[in-house]
Structure 1
Amino acid sequence: MFSTAGHPSHARRRSSKISPVPDEGGWTKPSPYLNRTPKLEAGGFDAGSRDRHRTAQQSSFGQNLVNFLYRFARSPRGLAIMGSLAFLWVCSSYISANSHHLATRPVHPAFLPIIRHGGNLVHRISPAYGSRIKDWHDFQVASNPNRKLTDEEIEARSQHTFHPNGLLLVNPRGRHPISVLIERAEKRWKDKVARQSRTLGEAVAEYKRRYRRNPPRGFDDWWAFCEENNVQLRDEYDQINHDLAPHWALEAHDSRHRNRVMQERDHTFTAAFKPGQEVPTLHGPYWDLKRATDVQGLLKLYGGRLPRPLNITFIMDDNPAVMLPYSQRDRMVELGQQGEYFGPSEFVEPEDPSLSNFALACAPNSPLRRSERGEFTPDYSGEAQRSFIWDHQKVADLCQHPESRQLHGHTMQQGVPLSPLVPLFTFAKTRLHADILVTPLEQYEEVYTIGYEPPWEQKSQNKLLWRGSTTGVEFDRHTPWRQSQRARLHMLSQNMEGEKSVIWSQGNMMRESNMSVEALNHLYMDTFFSGALQQCDPETCEIMTKTLDFKPTIGLDESNQYKYYMDVDGNGWSGRFHRLMSTRSVVLKSTAFPEWYADRIEPWVHYVPVKIDYSDVYDIMTYFVGTPDGRGSHDSVAERLGAQGKEWARTHWRFADMAAYMYRLSLEYSRILHHDEPDGNDYYFEPRLMADEEY
C-alpha cells in the first residue's frame, strides 16, 4: 500500500495492460509496442532477439532443474532413494569383485527361501540376473551337508560310469558298485532269457534280424536237435558270426582250397563228416591223441545229421594260430556283408613294422596302437582309477585295454605272425585272433567226483582259494615272468607290507578305508603255486625255489571247505572252470580268452569277473566277506551267486549244449564252403517264412 498523495489507497492486481512504472524521473509512458503486432521487416524477426530469447529459456530450464534436484536431495524421500542407490552400487561392486567367494560361501538355511523368492522377483525384471540368483540358491541347497536328500538325488548321486570299454568307473559318492552291478546283471539275464525264440519261426526271424541273411541249410534239424536235448538260449550264437565274418569275402572254391591245405598242416587233426555217417572219421598228424578222440566223441552226437560232407581242421595247441592285420580283416568283413569277394587286386595299406602283432590287429586309432606309438591314452589301471568289470568280453579286448597287455603270459609276447585267412578251429583265442573258436573238452566231465561238499553255511573257509602250476608263460630270464597272470596271483598272497585302500558297504552306501595288507591277506587270500616246477629253465627254477613259497596241493574235501575259488588262464583257456562252477562256491574268474559260452553266461549272476591286474580283488572280497572288524558282509548274496553258478553249469553247459554249438558252427561253415551251389545260400524248410527280402 502506497502512502504518497494522489495514489490509490489500495494496491491493484497487475492486468494485461502494463501500468506506468515509476523510475527516478517519475512516471514513464507505456511502450508503444505493447499489445501490438510487431512489424515484420524483409528478413523476418530480428535474429539477435530470437537468440537472446532462446538463451534466456535454456538458462531458466537449467536453473529450474538445479533448483529441483537441490530441493529433492534435501527432502527425506530423496535422501532415502539416493542412499539406496549408493548402497546398491557398493553391493554390486563388492559382489562383482568377490563373486566366486560369495557363491561358494555357505548361507544360513533361514535365508534360502528369501533368496529363492528374490530370484523369482528379479527374474521378471531381468531373466539373466534372476537365473543367476536361482542357480545360486540351488547351489546352496545342494551344498547343505545337513539336509535330507530326496530319492531322486540319491539315485543321481549313486550313478557310476559304465564305460564303453566294459569297465564301471566308480563314483566315490555313490552306492557300492558291486550292488549296482549285481542288480543290473540280474535284469540283463532275465531280459535275455525272456526274449529267446520259442518256435522255429521266431528263431528264423531273429536270425534274419541279427545277421541280415537267411539261416543255413539244415537249420530246421538243428532246431529239432535243440528241442530233443532241451538246449537253452537258442538265439545266442554271435561268437560264430564274429569268427566266420571275414570268410564270407572268400569265393567258395577259394574257401575249399584253403580248407584242403589246412588238413596237411602240422599240429592239427581233421574230423571228416559224411551224411548219414554218425561218427566222423579222424585223420591228420595228431588224429590219435586224446584231445582228438574227445572231440570225436562230442561230434558224433550230431554227425549223421549234417546235410553235406564237411571237413573241420583243429589246431592241436592250447593257443590260437591265426591273426590278420586290421585293415585286411576290416575290408574282408565289409566285402562279405556286401556280397563281394576279396581278391588279389584288393589294396591293403602297409602296416607299421615297429608295432606288435597284437597292435597291428587293432584299429589304427585304438588305445593299444596309440600307446605303442607313444601317444597319450587314458589309464584305466587299478592304480589310476578304481573300477570293476561290467562287460567281460569288452574288457578282454586288448585293443581297448593296453594296460593289460604286459600282465598276461600270452599277450606279453609279440603275438603270432600276421598271415592270410585260413580256416583253423581252435580251443582258445582272444578277440584279435582270426581262428574259429570251438568247445574245448580238456578236464571236462558231465558229472564230477568232487568229494563231500558241505552246505554253504557249513563251509569253514571264508577265503579265496587257488592252487596252480607254473604255467601260462615261459619262466626264463628272457621273459618278465613276475608280471604274468599266475605269478602275480601267487605273490599277491605273499605280500605283507604296507596298507591298501579298500571300499566296503555300509547300509546302501559305499565307504572307503585304509587297511593293512597283512590283515587283508590273512583274512581273504589263499592263492599259491603248488606241485612241481614247470616251464622254467634251470636258472629261473632255482630263483623261484628260493624266493617263492610253494604250498602243497590240497584234496577235494579240503578245497570244498572254501566259499570262494579263483580261476585263471593256463597256457590257454582254463580247463577247471566247469568243475569249479559245479560246486556251491562263488567262482572269481580272470581271463584273456573269451570262450564259446560267453554269449550265454552273465557276469555277476553266475560268476564274478576279475580284472587282469587284480586291482579289484580286495574290494570284491571285502564286499562279500566284510571288513576285518566284521562290517559290510554280503554272505547271503555270495551264497545266491554260488547256487546260480552251479545251476547254470548243470543246465547250460552239458555235452548237448556243446554239441549244439558245434552243430550250428558246422552248418554255418559248410554253407561258406558251398555257397556257390544252387542251394548253398537258401533256407529250404519253411520258405513262406523267408520272404525275398534284400539285405
Structure 2
Amino acid sequence: MAFSPRRFSPAIALKVLLFFALSVILVGTAWLWQRSPRSVASISMPHDHKGQDKGQAPKTHPIDDLIEHAGTEWFKLMAKQTHDLSGAAKAYRARRGRHPPPGFDRWYQFAKDNNAVMVEDFFDQIYDDLAPFWGVEAKKIRRQAKRFDFVVSVRNGTATQKTDHERPWMNLWHDLTSTIQEHLPDIDIPINVMDESRVIVPWEDINEYVKAERGSRKLVPRPEVVTELMGLEDVDADAGEPIEIPWVTGGLYWDTARVGCPPNSPAREVPASTNFSGPPPMPSAFPERSYYGYVKNWTAAKDPCLQPDLRESHGTFIEPLSQRTTHSLFPMFGGSKLPMNNDILIPPAMYWTKDPFYSGGEEHGGPWEQKTTKVVWRGGGTGGRNKAENWTRFQRHRFVAMVNGTAVQVAEKNAEGPGRGENFVLQGYHTYHLTATQYMDLGTWLNQITDVGMVHLICFPESGSNKCPYTDHYFEVKSGMPMAKQYAFKFLPDIDGNSFSGRYRGFMASTSLPIKATIYAEWHDSRLVPWVHFVPMDNSFVDIYGILDYFIGTGLEYKTEDGKVVEGAHDAAAEKIATAGKEWAEKVLRREDMQIYVMRLFMEYARICDDQRDRLGFIWDMD
C-alpha cells in the first residue's frame, strides 16, 4: 500500500513543534557540555544504562555502541582540519589564546611539504607539557637546561649532544634533532636517559604554575609583538656550576608519585601498600567508569590518580627498576610519562630507530583474511623488580596467566576459591555474558585462540639463566617471535613494561589489531581515537575475555547462505579497526610526523626560555 501524507491537527502540530524545540535544546546542551578536545580519547556516551554494575546485558553489544560513538568523535575531530597558513594560525590563536611562536610560518611550510594532516588538537600534548613552565623565570629554565648532564643542543642550525658515554637513545634523539636542525632556534634539551619518567611536582605547585600560564595568555597588539628570539648567548658565556637537583632515590614510589594527583582524587590520600602477596585487587564486577565493562574514557582508564588499586597491580608502583625522581619543576624531555608526571614528551627513541626489533621491518603484515585468528604476545617479565614476594602483582605476569587456558582451568577448579589463580581472580561467567562459555569452559576456549608467553622471566636477584626459582612452576618460557611473524596473527595485545611499550607504533602500522593497556602517556595520544584506531583495554585486564569474545567468538563455525560464519564473531569490525589504524598511522605516526611535532615543540620551548616570551609571536599572517 502506498504511503499517503496525513493532515495534522493543531494539537498534533503543537506536539511536533515542542518535540523539535526540545531536540534542538538537547543537541545544544550536548554541544556545550562536550569535554575539551584535549582528550579526544574520552567518548561521551549518549546515556547511562542502569544495571551496569550488576552485569545486566544491554540491548546491543556495548562494543557496538563504543565503536559507533567513537566514530562520531573522530568525525568531529577531522572537521577541524586547516588547509593554509592563515587557517592554521587562526586555529592556533583560538585554541592557545596567544600568537603562534616565531618561525610558525617555517614550521607550517615544513609540515605542508611533508603532507601532514593539520589539526590543531594534535599538538595539545605540547601545551599541556609546557604550561607549568610559564610560571618559572625564563632565565632559570635555560640555565637549568644548559647545565644538565644529558643534553641535545642546537646552535646556529647545528645539533650536538652532551652525555657521559655512548648511549643509543641519546644518539637517536640527536639524530632526530639533526634532521630538522636548520629550522630550529638555539635551544638546550635535557634528556631523560632512564626508562622511568622523572619529574613529579606536587599538584598544588603545578596548579599555581598553570594559573600563571593562563594569566599570561593574550593576543598582544601587533605593534608590540616581538618577532625574534634573543638567543642563548648569556648561558653560553656563563659556564656556571653543575645544577643541583634534589632527587628522590628510595622509598615507596607510589607515595612519591601520588603527590602529583589532585587533592580530591581517589588516590591522593591512599598510602602505598607493603603487602604484595597473592593476587592483586581486581574488579568483582565491571571496572569503574566503564561502559558495561569496556573502556569508554581512555584518559581516565590510564590514570592512576583515579585508580588507587594500581598501586598494587602495576610494577611501576610496586617496585620500579630504578628510581630517580624530583619534586622540583625541571625541563626534562623523555619518551613517556605517567599522568601525574611533569616531564615533556618527545617521540621515543625506539620509534625513531629503524631496528626491526621494535617495528617488524618494512613489511607490516598481509591481508586480514590470510591472518590466523589468534591472539599473540611475546615479551620479557619486565615492569620493575619482580621478586618472590611481589611477582603476583606485576602486569605482564598477570596478563600472560589470564589468557593462558591451563592457568585459567586450574584457577576455576581451585579448592581455596573458584576462580582464584596465583596472580589473578576470575569473575563469574555472568558478568560479561560471553558467547564462548555457553559452549565450553573459559580455559578450553582460550587454549584455542591464544599464543602468549614470556621469553625471559627476568627475576631479582638474577638467576644467571632464563629461569626464575619462584615462577618456574607457573610459567613456561617460550621461544621469541619477531614482530614480523607476529603480524601473521590478527590480534596483538600491547602491555606496559618498565614504562611504555616500544612496540606500539609498529603494531599501529601493522595490518593486525592492537589491543592496548597502559598507564603511560605518549606524544601521539591526541591523534589516536580508541575504538576507531585500536582497542583499549582496562589495566586489570578483566575485559580481555569480553573483547576477544566479541571479535573472535566461539571459534565454532556454522554454515549460512553466504558461507561459513563463526558463532558470536565480529571479524569485520576487527578488520575495520585494524585497517583504519594502519591507514591513520601511515598519515600521522610517520617519521615525518615526529619531525613536525618536535620542530613545533622546540619552537614553543625556545619561546618559554626567552625573557620576552610574553610578547614573542608570529603575526605575518595578519592584515
| Aligned equivalents of 1:432, 1:274: Cα separation in 2 | 33
Structure 1 counterpart of 2:188, one-letter code: N
Q: Which amino acid aligns with 1:405?
A: R
**Counterpart pick for 2:396 among 486, 489, 493:** 486
Aligned equivalent of 2:375, options 452, 464, 472 = 464
1:160 touches 1:170 (CA, 8 Å); kept in 2? no
CA shift, 1:362, in A, is 0.9
Deviations 1:448-504 (A, max 9, x none): 536694422222x322110111211212245x2221111101211132232742677
Aligned-partner residue type, residue 335 of structure 1: A
**Equivalent position to 1:665, from 579, 582, 601:** 601
1:238 aligned to 2:124? Answer: yes
- Amino acid in structure 2 at the alignment position of 1:301: T
Q: 3-state DSSP class of the match of 2:263? A: coil
Structure 2 distance, partners of 1:177, 1:401, is 22
Secondary structure at 2:381's aligned position in 1?
coil
* Partner AA of 1:243 in structure 2: D
- Aligned pairs for 1:15-54 (under 5 A) are none
1:409 paired to 2:315: yes
Which of 298, 304, 307 is residue 398 of structure 1 equivalent to?
Answer: 304
Say whether 1:298 aligns with 2:176: yes
TM-aligned CA deviation for residue 380 of structure 1: 11
Q: For 1:367, which of 238, 243, 266 is the aligned residue?
A: 266
SS in structure 2 opposite 1:242? helix
Shift of 1:254: 1.9
Gaps of 5+ in 2: 1-44, 218-251, 274-279, 287-291, 413-418, 420-427, 557-565
Alpha-carbon distance in 2 for matches of 1:396, 1:593: 7
In the alignment, what sits opposite 2:344? Answer: 436
- Give the AA of the match of 2:442: V
Counterpart in the other structure of 1:425: 333
Which of 192, 195, 200 matches 1:318? 195
SS in 1 for 2:473: helix
- In structure 1, the residue matched to 2:285 is 384
The alpha carbon displacement at 1:405 in A equals 2.9
Whether contact under 8 Å (1:568, 1:591) holds in the other structure is: yes
For 1:256, which of 137, 142, 157 is the aligned residue? 142
State the percentage of identical aligned residues. Answer: 27
What is the CA distance between 1:680 and its match in structure 2?
5.3
Please list the CA deviations of residues 62-85 of structure 1 after superposition, one character each: whole Å capped at 9, or x if unmatched: xxxxxxxxxxxxxxxxxxxxxxxx
Residue 548 of structure 1 is aligned with which of 475, 496, 505?
475
Matched, 1:560 2:560: no
Q: Secondary structure at the match of 1:258?
A: helix
Change (3 A) 1:332 1:533: closer
After superposition, the Cα gap between the structure-2 partners of 1:158 and 1:205, relative to the gap in structure 1 and judged at 3 Å, is: closer
Larger Rg: 1
Q: Aligned letter for 2:501? A: S
Indicate the residue corresponding to 1:449 in structure 2: 361
The Cα of 1:234 is off from its aligned counterpart by 3.5
Q: Amino acid of the residue matched to residue 651 of structure 1? A: K
* Structure 1 position 616, deviation (Å): 0.5
The answer as to whether partners of 2:508 and 2:514 remain within 8 angstroms in 1 is: yes
- How many residue pairs get matched? 497
- The residue identity in structure 1 corresponding to 2:154 is F
- 1:23-49: per-residue Cα shift (whole Å, max 9, x none)? xxxxxxxxxxxxxxxxxxxxxxxxxxx
Taking structure 2 as the reference length, the TM-score comes to: 0.73
Q: Which residues of structure 1 form unaligned runs of 5+?
A: 1-156, 341-352, 689-695
Q: Label 1:686 to 1:456 Cα distance change in 2 as closer, same or farther (>3 A).
A: closer
Q: Is 1:180 equivalent to 2:115 in the alignment?
A: no
> Residue in 2 aligned with 1:650?
586
**2:568 aligned with 1:632:** yes
Looking at structure 2, the residues matched to 220 and 451 of structure 1 have their Cα atoms a distance apart, in angstroms, of 35
CA distances 1:170-208 after superposition (whole Å, capped 9, x unpaired): 763332110011111112112211212222222222222
TM-score (norm 1): 0.66
Match of 2:161 among 256, 263, 282: 282
Using the alignment, how far apart are the partners of 2:364 and 2:265 within structure 1? 49
From the superposition, tell whether residues 248 and 197 of structure 1 become closer, same or farther in structure 2 (CA, over 3 Å): same
Q: What residue is the counterpart of 2:512 in the other structure?
A: 585
- For the Cα contact (< 8 Å) 2:511–2:578, is it kept in 1? yes
Partner of 2:220: none
| Equivalent-residue separation in structure 1 for 2:54 and 2:332 (angstroms) | 38
* 2:110 counterpart residue number: 225
CA offsets, 1:416-439, max 9 Å, x none? 645211111111101101111110
Which structure ranks higher in relative contact order (CA pairs < 8 Å, sequence separation ≥ 6)?
2
1:383 is matched by which residue type in structure 2?
A: S
CA contact (8 A) 2:365 2:512 kept: no
C-alpha distance 556-202 of structure 1, shift in aligned 2 (>3 A): closer
1:608–1:680 CA distance, 2 compared to 1 (3 A): same
Give, in angstroms, the shift of residue 532 of structure 1. 6.4
Any idea what SS the aligned residue of 1:542 has? Answer: coil
CA contact (8 A) 1:169 1:388 kept: no
The match for 2:423 is none
Q: For 1:251-292, what per-residue CA distance to the aligned partner results, in whole angstroms no more than 9, with x for missing partners?
A: 22222222233x23xxxx2111123x2x41111324x32211
Rounded to whole Å, the distance in 1 between the matches of 2:569 and 2:481 is 27
Q: Distance in 2 between matches of 1:219 and 1:511?
A: 55
Q: Are 1:192 and 2:192 an aligned pair?
A: no
1:290 partner amino acid: P
Instruction: Verify: 1:496 aligned to 2:409, yes or no.
Output: yes
Q: Tell me if structure 2 keeps the 8 A contact 1:362–1:399.
A: yes
Residue by residue over 1:593-621, the C-alpha shift from the partner in whole angstroms, topping out at 9 and shown as x without a partner, is 12110001111111111111101000000
Tell me: CA distance 1:556–1:284, structure 2 relative to 1, closer, same or farther (3 Å). Answer: closer
Deviations along 1:554-607, whole A, 9 cap, x unmatched? Answer: 355653331111111221221111222222111111111121100011111111
> Is the CA contact 2:258–2:268 (under 8 Å) kept in the aligned structure 1?
yes
Aligned-partner Cα distance in 2 for 1:527–1:316:
30
> How far apart, in 1, do the equivalents of 2:479 and 2:573 lie?
31
Match of 1:58 in 2: none
Amino acid at match of 2:537: V
Q: 1:515 to 1:619 in 2, by over 3 A?
A: farther
Q: CA RMSD in A?
A: 3.2
Q: 1:453 to 1:359 in 2, by over 3 A?
A: closer
